[in-house]
A and B are shown apart, each in its own frame.
Chain A
Amino acid sequence: MARKAADIALYVLIIVLAAAFVFPVAVVLINSFKAKFSINASPFTLPMGDDFVGLSNYTEGIKTTGFPAAFGWSLFITLFSVAAIIIFTSMCAWYIVRVKTKFTSLLYYALVFSMIVPFQMVMFTMSKIANVLHLDNPFGIILIYLGFGAGLSVFMFTGFIKTVPLGIEEAATIDGCSPFQTYRLVVFPILKPTAITVAILNTMWIWNDYLLPYLVIGRDYKTIPIAVQYLKGGYGSVDMGAMMAMLVLSIIPVVVFYLFGQKYIIKGVAAGAVKG
């Protein structure tokens, strides 16, 4: 009986906490239908009467920020960067584990080292180099993301490859597979769980990244975070209505992604931590 009472108390606590976690998003959603001048003063009331403006915040926000294009660029950059990271870092990691030379161990330690370096350390020089090499476009930035994502991704792949027995690969070689065929037909399928984890961690980072794309391509191409920040403009006042609507539109893709991949995401994050 006491145990049951304790369980009920715990449930109440959990529900209150969960409500506190959902509350901020709910507030933004409610305010996205509210007249812009009443958002600052009373964000916690429902939009009633004159305060209710329908979808006008959305149309206004989409017009100012060019949201559909931003969504497209975010999707393009995230998809192709994550694909490049999965393919090339897993190949690199396999090589590092299987070919033991001074060079591969140096490369490995350099990659691990890059994980703790703050972005500000390389921000200025990297954006200059990107500019000189004409990487300041949505295609070039994929290469930059590959370079920045390489640290964590190679680290996670090597951790897993070390546990893969060499025998299977040798059997494939004896059967006449080239190293590339061995990798593609034998090694990569085994790496799949790690590849999913790496893909999720990198998607979460690249989709939400603001400063890197802003510095490299921000003048000509806006991703979603850049579009949202763009609403704030210089020192002028912000259209809070449009801001709320854009926040909602930014959160929707994330929620959809989360609903579909929930199991993988939670497993991936936990697995990523164990390896780290």
Chain B
Amino acid sequence: MEKTVKRWFPIFVLPCLAAFLIAFVIPFIMGVFLSFTEFRTVTDATFVGFSNYIRAFTEDRLFLQSLIFTVKFAVISVIGINVIAFLLAMLFTRGLPGTNFFRTVFFMPNLIGGIVLGYIWQVIINGVLYRFGYSITSSPTYGFWGLVILMHWQMIGYMMIIYIAGIQNIPDDILEAARVDGANALTVLFKITIPSVMPSVTICLFLTITNCFKLFDQNLALTAGAPANRTQMVALDIYNTFYSRSGYEGVGQAKAVIFFIIVAVIALIQLYLTRRKEVES
């Protein structure tokens, strides 16, 4: 059978393969190559070695500053979102009537796009700060916490749904057995519930970490980096390097490669660590 299927390669694989090559593979390879060159329009590239990578850090402090901002933002958001989402999931799996409706409400913000979310929160945060004579662009602290709140509002419901599915998959007889053996609520939580939902933890951490690092739309709409690029995250800094100043395309591409490596390494380390916990349980 395999042989007959093989002959159908052009119909089954070619459309998907061609699109994948055009949209991803070729741009990716070109991107790596161009990061070692200086160029304006791709065709005029001249090889410059690692100088773009050096310029990414030495020309100004923006890239480093945005990296630090992104890491701080990601650490706080990933922990906050996952802890709150897990607690809500515990709450919603206690069999209280009417919880389905609330589940729906909590998930809704996740369907709203990043640009729209950014402007929604801009109005609210500015409305609160206005009473004290400030706005969200008065200080980078406001923009930072604004992004943290926005991200929580957007992602808690999503992660909660995944944790609920994980908790519901725990077989009742294990919980029953634990109770018969006299385990208290905390023991059940740490010895049974959390180890059993490790597959959900893996995927939730992966989604929150990658989404926090890659955040762009929300950042652009909420503060656009103001004041003075101090609330600019890595993705926005790369965008501005490419499109707001001419002659920096190579530097932008080098920053993008560094960004890619950071995201990939963090995601792989996280998957390795949490997957190992899954096997143990």
**CB atoms of B108 and A21 under 8 A apart:** yes
Residue in A21, A100, A122, A228 whose CB lies within 8 Å of B153: A21
* Interface size of A as a range: 35 or more
Asked if residues A116 and B161 are in contact (CB atoms below 8 Å), the reply is no
Quick one: which of B80-117 are within 8 Å of A by CB?
A: 88, 91, 94, 96, 99, 102-116
For the complex, would chain A's binding face be called helix, strand, loop or mixed by DSSP majority? helix
Stretch at the interface among A54-62, A65-73, A146-154, A191-199: A146-154
> What is the minimal beta-carbon distance from A166 to any residue of chain B, in angstroms?
8
B220 CB within 8 Å of chain A? yes
In A236-276, the 8 Å CB interface with B consists of 240, 243-244, 247, 250-251, 254-255, 257-258, 262, 265-266, 269-271, 273-274, 276
Q: Is the CB of B256 within 8 A of A120?
A: yes
Question: Is there contact, CB below 8 Å, between A99 and B5?
Answer: yes
- Whether A109 is near chain B, meaning CB under 8 Å from some CB there, is no
Contact B259 A243 (CB under 8 A): no
- A204 contacts the other chain (Cβ, under 8 Å)? yes
Is B263 a contact of A118 with CB atoms below 8 Å? yes
Q: Can you spell out 12 A-B residue pairs with CB atoms less than 8 angstroms apart?
A: A17-B88, A24-B120, A42-B127, A95-B9, A110-B25, A120-B214, A120-B239, A120-B259, A121-B257, A135-B22, A243-B119, A269-B161
Which B residues are CB-close (under 8 A) to A129?
22, 26-27, 30
Q: Check if B115 sits within 8 Å of A124, measured CB to CB.
A: no
A25 — which chain B residues lie within 8 A by C-beta? Answer: 120
Interface range on chain B (Cβ under 8 Å from partner): 35 or more
Residue of B nearest to A203 (CB): B111
Within B198-241, the residues touching A (CB, 8 Å) are 199-200, 203-204, 206-207, 210, 213-214, 216-217, 220-221, 234-235, 238-239
CB neighbours of B20 from chain A (8 A)? 110-111, 114, 146-147, 150
Do residues B127 and A147 form an inter-chain contact, with CB atoms below 8 A?
no
Chain A residues positioned under 8 Å from B165 (CB to CB): 270-271, 273-274
Q: Which A residues are in CB contact (< 8 Å) with B1?
A: 98, 169-170, 173
A1 within 8 A of B: no
Given the interface contacts A43-B126, A118-B235, A225-B113, does A147 sit within 8 Å of B153 by beta carbon? no
Complex contacts, A124 vs chain B, CB 8 Å: 31, 34, 242, 249, 252-253, 256
Name the one of B2, B16, B113 contacting A207, with C-beta atoms under 8 angstroms. Answer: B113
Q: Given the known A-B contacts A10-B91, A276-B203, are A117 and B260 also in contact in the complex, defined by CB atoms under 8 Å? A: yes
In angstroms, how far is the closest chain A Cβ from the Cβ of B30?
4
Does A143 lie within 8 Å of B19, measured CB to CB? Answer: yes
Residues of A within 8 A of B238 (CB): 120, 123
B13 on the A face (CB < 8 A) = yes
A125 touches B31 (CB 8 A): yes
Whether A88 is near chain B, meaning CB under 8 Å from some CB there, is: yes
Question: How long is the Cα–Cα vector from A122 to B238 in the complex, in angstroms?
Answer: 11
**A211/B216 in contact, CB under 8 A:** yes
- B245 interface residue, CB < 8 Å from A? no
Task: Say whether A257 contacts B162, CB under 8 Å.
Answer: no
B54 contacts A by Cβ under 8 Å:
no
Chain A residues at the B interface, C-beta cutoff of 8 Å: 7, 10-11, 13-14, 17-18, 21-22, 24-25, 27-28, 31, 39-44, 84, 88-89, 91-92, 94-96, 98-100, 107, 110-111, 114, 116-126, 128-130, 133, 135, 143-148, 150-151, 154, 169-170, 173, 178-180, 183, 204, 207-211, 224-225, 228-229, 232, 240, 243-244, 247, 250-251, 254-255, 257-258, 262, 265-266, 269-271, 273-274, 276
- On whether the beta carbons of A273 and B203 are closer than 8 Å, the reply is yes
A237 to B227, CA, bound (A): 16
Chain B, residue nearest A39 (CB): B123
- Complex contacts, B8 vs chain A, CB 8 Å: 95, 178-180
Q: Give the docked Cα–Cα distance between A108 and B105 (Å).
A: 37
B87 nearest CB across to chain A (Å): 10
Report the minimum CB–CB distance from A176 to chain B (whole Å): 12
Question: B256–A147 contact, CB under 8 A?
Answer: no
Residue of B nearest to A95 (CB): B12
Q: A204-B110, A266-B107 are in contact. List 10 more A-B contacts (CB 8 A).
A: A14-B91, A95-B5, A118-B214, A123-B256, A125-B34, A129-B30, A209-B113, A210-B217, A232-B221, A273-B200
CB of B177 within 8 A of chain A?
no
A25 to B13, CA, bound (A): 43
Q: Is B124 an interface residue (CB 8 A)?
A: yes
Interface centre among B123, B210, B216 (most CB of A within 10 A): B123
Contact of A150 with B25 at beta-carbon distance under 8 Å, contacts A42-B127, A98-B5 already known: no
Check if A94 sits within 8 Å of B12, measured CB to CB. Answer: yes
Specify the chain A residue showing the minimal Cβ separation from B34: A125
Q: A226 CA to B30 CA in the complex, in Å?
A: 27
B42 touches A125 (CB 8 A): yes
